[in-house]
Structure formats: structure tokens, C-alpha cells
Structure 1
Amino acid sequence: MNTTPVRGRRGRCWQSGACLALLLGAAWLARRRWPTVAHGALRLAAADQGWLLVAATAVVGTWVCSALAQQGAVTRRLPGGRLVAAQFAASAAGHVLPAGLGAGAVNLRFLMRCGLPAGRGASALAVKAVAGAVVRLVLIAVLAPACPGLLRIPHVSAAALLAGLGTAVLAGVLLRVRVWPRCRGAVAAVAADVRALHARPGRAAALWGGSLAFAGLHALVLFAVTQAVELALSPARVALLYLAASGAAALLPTPGGLGSLDAALAFALTASGTPASAAASAVLGYRLLTVWLPLLPGLLVLGVLIRRRVL
């Protein structure tokens, strides 16, 4: 008897339940802090329109950079216009389904339509994701010394540290025994793709350059919004706050970081000394430009791409 579909449904139920719980928690927090949120919205309405235009332009650039990084993750040449359109549609789909499932499904379907086998397409998505994570970690390591005291390591007791270490060791043993034999072939395929890509300097430059520009433009969006609401924060501090907050939010499986990224950004801004209402304005502006305004057009583009069998 095949129990894989049952396990898959059970896993999706757990993920949906966790997502719903996080969204309800975010809604409860917003309701509790509603005066601060409302004041932030009013402040955003009177923000500098020039800086908001800069932020909106940077948002458009993120889709182009995502397309560049995706092209860099495959050796086959992809159709440029349809690739950018697919990234726009994928960003909208990623805000509907949790943990990046929507964006991953759209990109995988696009790569398969371009002639890549499913395994090779999944490998390309993994290469792109790993490159993005490495770029963010490097940027944090570079920016942290330039902004001393901005990121504070919380105090952890010796007992908690030992418990965490024991859990990590146990997880490592379980992965080695149960998971690694099943994933060995996939890891080998990803490693082979990475070697093939870096044998072509143009593809490697597209992968790393697109990943770097993608993270940088998202930081620019947040910085432009902070300038629009008259927050006195330097570009380096805003970039570091964004990278740290988005990294923390990635651990929570909400659609597009909805709720988790908002809370992480608000916490990071207020922890750096920003007033709560001003932090709420910056977060609202960032999410309005990156999520809510492009959401409906992105879903319409997704429908068009499906209708034209691009996906």
C-alpha cells in the first residue's frame, strides 16, 4: 500500500495549520497595536512621493534581477521577456502559498516548458536559492562591522546552549542515517550543475550578480521608504536590518513572509531606536510596494502565462 499521498496530505495540513496560526497571531498583534498601525498609515499617506517613486522603481528591478539569477542557474538559454514575466507571476504566487511553494511551482513549470527535465529544473531552483542565501550571509558579515551594536546576540544560558547542541547533534545523526541516503543523488546533481555553471563565466556572473542585485534592491526599497517617512537611518543600517529581518522571517512558513516579515522588520526598526509609529509606516510602505500593489497584476500575468501555455 502506498502511503506517500497520505503523508503528503498530512504534511500539507500541518504546514497550512502553522501558516494559519502565524497569520492569526499577526492579526491579533495588529489589532492590539492598532493605534500605532493607524498612525503609521497616516504618516505614510503624507510621505515624500519622490522617494516612494524610487522605491517603486527598485521593486520593478527586483523582478529583472530575479530573472537574471534564474538564467544564471541554468546552462540553457531562456527567453528573456517570458522569464521576467514568469518572475513577476511567481512573486504573486509566492504571496498566496506558504514557504515559497507558489513561486517555486511557477518557476519549475516555466523551466519545464523551456525544455528542462523536472529534476534539472528543481536543481536550478536549488542553485538559485543557495546562491541567494550565501549572498545574504556575506552581506550581513560585511555590513555588521560597519554598524557596530546594531545586531545584538541574545544572551543564552549554558543549559539552553547544551540543549541546542544536543538537538543539533541528534538531528545530524538522523539526517545522516535516514535522509542523506535518499538525498545523495539530488545533492550530487546540484553539485554537478554548480560545476557546469561556474565553467561558464557568463552564467556564474548572472547567478551571483542577479542574487546580489536582488537583495540590494529590496534593501533599497526599504531605505527609500524610510527616507519618504523621514527616518534618519543610513543605507548600511537599513540594509543590515532588512537582511537580518528577512533571514529571520524565512524560518516561518507564511505566504511571502506575510506577518512574519512584517513583525521582524518592525521589531528590527524599533530595536534600532526608531519610534513605533515611524517603524509601522516604513513596514506598511515596504509591504504595499512589494506585495499588495503588484499582487493583482501579478496574478493576472500568471493567468495569461497559463493560458498561453508558457506555464
Structure 2
Amino acid sequence: MSEIQEEAVLEQDQIIVESGRPKMLGYVFGFFAVTLLGYFLVNRYYMPAPAVNTAPAVRFAPSELLNDLNKRLAYLQNRTTGVSFYIHTIRKKENLWKLASKRHYSVHAIIGCNPQFETYDVSIGQKIIIPSRAGTLHPVQKNDSWQKIASRYKTTLPELVKYNNTALDIGYGDLVFVPDRRPDMALMNDKLREKYELRALFVSPLGGRLSSTFGRRKHPVTGQYKLHGGIDIAVKTGTWVGAAADGVVTLASDGVGHYGKAVFVDHQDGYVTHYGHLSKILVRPGQKVKARQLIARSGSTGRSTGPHLHFTIKKNDVSKDPLKFIW
């Protein structure tokens, strides 16, 4: 520190000391108040300095970004920061849930970075883009701005700046990475939107290991090949079972054929859910229930080889694959 700087510091210290304790405290409180106000304004309204990228902007037509994974990857590598992407080829026994679980985020992160998807089913040899973190790609709409995109996903400008090269202009069809958000249903293609709409109808009655899926199978007890009209979720006896949606209990009984102890709930638009092999029933017929409300405990009553929940969804008395609703 120079002599001039030292004198300036001493003079400043002398002014504070001579002015007395109350005035000094006033300076301190004033400083903190201004700091807090500035922090709030910066995080809500201020657009931080954009990430610097000296590479020329990579641009492709919206159709190219949608259909050509190599071009989309090159585009993302040029226009995003703080997140990476790579192309993955689906292998035997892989699905989106397993891939997402390995990376500790939800399946929506992979779906959100693959706007070409019309379904969540993938096949061996199919190529998809995998992100390094949770988030989704937003396809820029006409008249979009960074502020509008932030508002749409209920995030902040600093969050967008952290993961996007905002030094580059955005226009219709460009892609913006929005961290920690799910894809916007309004911007999906029709087929994928239908699957998300089904998903919004029900919630999973409990968490556990999927031990048997919907479809034709060899029954583990009778040995007969027939339709398994629901899914089996393996859990410990006594695990809480919740209603999959709002509805009215139509059956709650100890002896319902191969179900053993079971609960049936009637929902809107012709939907009915069944919960079988229960150890304890906590509701009665005619009772109204809410989604996730506890209605029973899991067990192994009826025709069962071990503790699990059998869960069925029916639409107008036709069994539907529950995984199309609770994925």
C-alpha cells in the first residue's frame, strides 16, 4: 500500500471515530440494507454479463435440430455452457429410466433433450442425446426473449445465463437449455403430449420394485398363460398404499377372489383402479378419497407368491397398462 493510500485510510478511520458510535452504526446498517436490496434486484431483473465464446455461432434450421442428432450436438456444444451432451446408442435391456437413474435425475431430463421423441419407448440401436445434468431444451418461439423464457419456466435470468451462451442472439427454432425444469407440454408433438396427459391422471400408489408388467404371461401360481391385467410392485408387507387419484371407494373387502383383501376406487371419465393382495384395509365403500391418501397396507393375501401390490387401471371396464399412466 502506498503512503498516499495509507493516509487516505487513516483519514477515513479518523472521520468514523470522530463522528461517534451512533453515526458509525448508521453507516454499517445502511451498507447492509443497500447490499441486500442490490442482491434482490440483481437476481430478479439484472442480466449478467454473457458467457464469452469466440467461436462463430452455429445455426441450423429448426427441422435440422429436430431430426439430425449430430447437428443438434454441434449446436449445443457451441451455444451452451456448464452442461455437456453426448450421443448414446441404446443397448440391450436399456430404457430411459435406467439411463436417467444412473445419472441421478428423472427421465424427463432425457425426454426434454430429445424433442424428436414421440414416445418414451426406445429400441436397441436407437441414438439419443444424453445431458450431463437435469433440465430441458426450450425451442425458442416467435417473439421470445430471455426474460420470457425465464418466466415461462419459473426460473431466473442468472440461471439461464449460467448454462447458455447469451452472447449469441436467439431466434425462432433455436434451443435454450433450462436447468432443473421439465419439458413444456404445450411445446411437445401431439403423440408425446398425449402420453404426458395420461401421466397427469394418476400417481403411483407406492414406491417399490416392478416385479411383473402388464400383458400376457405365465401365471406364477397356476402356470397358465393369460393376460396379466395390471402390474405387480414388490414391497414389504405393511407398506402404505395410496389412492392413485381422487375418487370414491366402491369396494373394500377381505375376500375378493384371487386378489384376497382388495380395494376398488371409482374415478372420473370411466376410470377404476384396483389394489390387491392387501394386508389391511383403511377405507370403506362409499368413502371419498384424494390422490395419495392412504387407503391400505400392502400384503400377500389371495393368490400370491410373496408380498406385493397388484395395481390395475381400467377404462370403461377394459384393463389398461398402468405404466402408461404412472411412468
Q: Which structure has the larger Rg?
A: 2
TM-score (norm: length of structure 2): 0.18
Q: Determine which structure has the larger helix proportion and give its number.
A: 1
TM, length-normalised to structure 1: 0.19
